[in-house]
Amino acid sequence: MDLQYNESQRKEYLNMIDRIGVEWLDVFKGDIEFYQAAYWDLFTRLWKSGIPERKTDALKFMVGIKSAQTAGKYIETAIKKKLIIEKDNPEDARSRLLELSPQMKERLDLFFDQAVGNLRNSNRIIESSQTPSIEV
Please compute the mean of the pLDDT values over residues 78-89 and round it to a whole number. Answer: 97
Name the nearest CA neighbour of 115 among 7, 5, 25, 8. 25
Residue 92 CB partners (closer than 8 Å, separation 6+): 54
Q: What is the pTM of this model?
A: 0.87
Q: pLDDT tens across 62-75, in order?
A: 999 999 999 999 99
Q: pLDDT tens across 95-111, in order?
A: 999 999 999 999 999 99
Residue 113 CB partners (closer than 8 Å, separation 6+): none
> Looking at the predicted structure, is the pLDDT value of residue 136 above 60?
no
Q: Using 50, 70 and 90 to split pLDDT, how confident is the model at 1? A: confident
> Looking at the predicted structure, is the pLDDT value of residue 80 above 50?
yes
Strand order in the sheet with 53-54: 53-54, 96-100, 84-88
Name the nearest CA neighbour of 118 among 12, 25, 4. 12
For the chain, the structural domain boundaries read 2-123
Q: Which helix (H) or strand (E) holds 135?
A: strand 134-135
Q: What is the CA radius of gyration of the chain?
A: 19
Name the nearest CA neighbour of 71 among 54, 59, 53. 59
CATH class of 2-123: mainly alpha
> Looking at the predicted structure, is the pLDDT value of residue 131 above 70?
no
Name the nearest CA neighbour of 62 among 81, 76, 43. 43
